[in-house]
Amino acid sequence: MKQGVQGSAGAGVPEGGAPGVARVPRQQRVPAAPDGVRERGEGSPGARGEHTHSEPPIPQPWLPVSQVSAQRSPVQRSSVRGQILDALRTALVAGELKPGEVYSAPVLGERFGVSATPVREAMQQLALEGAVEVVPNRGFRVVERGTRELAELAEVRALIEVPVMLRLARTVPAERWAGLRPLAEETVRAAASGCAATYAESDRAFHRALLGLSGNGQLVRIAEDLHRRAQWPLVGGPVRHGRAELVADAAEHVALLDALIDRDLDVVRALVGEHFAGAN
């Protein structure tokens, strides 16, 4: 339930690296291209004026990653953008996309074995979400953020989620809470893997299911957006929580679910309050 980690299916397992972490190489900071650089053919390094000939060569082959270690089938045309977006989100949360670094769509496209177009579209979605910003003629820069922004996100999430959770604790029958146990247990397994990106995905899935019992789709979407933003890396380090913290966090999910099933409002209030108080 902590907020500094995140993940998503659809990224690659680098050789010798941690499972579920997309290995995106550090790209050198390159000077802005001169005015007048125009888009060339799709998939070429200069597409959309993104200046790439100073960037380091990229070793091949490279595989899109799954959540843990299983290799997925090649990216399908009908879902290229979605899979690329998932992979980039995983790389972002895992710290493979570094705050302050600029990444070009053509170079990342080479890593995925696709044209620059779906990468650019996925990056534009991340820009809408506030994870990256457009750098004209160069690509996309990962936003730099600090602990104050994380604290603000925790405060907003608490204002939204705590009252809803306490209301649901009084009204939702025990059998519906019990139906969420597989999701709580999945967070425990994900935490034990030590993969922050895998844990982040299961963490969001558990929260999404809890709030989904409210029947308010707008609430679920807003809360998930805030949760995802809270999982982005801070300046100075890719991932803030180690295996022990992940395991302890997952244990809170199980304890909260048990309290909800027993309708123990005092324990529910304490666990939810502790969650957001410790999220900064």
Tell me whether residue 164 is in a domain. Answer: yes
Two structure tokens written together for 90: 């995983």
Which residues are paired to 142 by β-bridges? Answer: 132
Contact by Cβ (8 Å): 60, 133: no
Tell me whether residue 210 is in a domain. Answer: yes
| pLDDT at res. 40 | 39
Tell me whether residue 30 is in a domain. Answer: no
| pLDDT at res. 251 | 92
Give the C-alpha separation, 103 to 229, whole Å.
19
Tell me whether residue 267 is in a domain. Answer: yes
Number of domains in the chain: 1
Tell me whether residue 87 is in a domain. Answer: no
Each residue of 215-256: pLDDT tens digit?
999 999 999 999 988 888 777 654 456 788 889 889 999 999
Contact by Cβ (8 Å): 249, 241: yes
Cβ-based neighbours of 46, under 8 Å, separated by 6 or more: 37, 39, 40, 52, 106
Two structure tokens written together for 168: 């649901």
Residue ranges of alpha helices (H) inside the chain are 80-93, 105-112, 116-129, 147-171, 174-178, 181-193, 196-212, 217-230, 243-262, 265-277
Give the C-alpha separation, 264 to 111, whole Å.
50
End-to-end CA distance of the chain: 12
Give the C-alpha separation, 49 to 37, whole Å.
5
| Cα angle value 224/132/187 (rounded, 5°) | 35
| pLDDT at res. 273 | 80
Chunk the chain into consecutive blocks of 10 residues (it has 280) and report each block's average pLDDT, rounded to whole numbers: 43 41 47 41 44 42 36 54 91 86 93 92 92 92 88 90 92 95 95 88 94 96 91 64 83 93 91 72
Give the C-alpha separation, 137 to 274, whole Å.
45
Question: pTM for the full model?
Answer: 0.67
Tell me whether residue 106 is in a domain. Answer: no
Tell me whether residue 246 is in a domain. Answer: yes
Tell me whether residue 224 is in a domain. Answer: yes
| pLDDT at res. 176 | 95
| pLDDT at res. 50 | 56
Please say whether the dihedral angle defined by the alpha carbons of residues 178, 183, 189 and 192, taken in this order, is positive or negative.
negative
Domain of 159? 147-277
| pLDDT at res. 46 | 41
Please say whether the dihedral angle defined by the alpha carbons of residues 5, 115, 15 and 103, taken in this order, is positive or negative.
negative
CATH of the domain at 154: 1.20.120.530
| pLDDT at res. 240 | 52
| Cα angle value 18/3/28 (rounded, 5°) | 55
Q: If we measure between CA atoms, which residue out of 260, 241, 239 comes closest to residue 250?
A: 241
Each residue of 30-42: pLDDT tens digit?
444 444 433 434 4
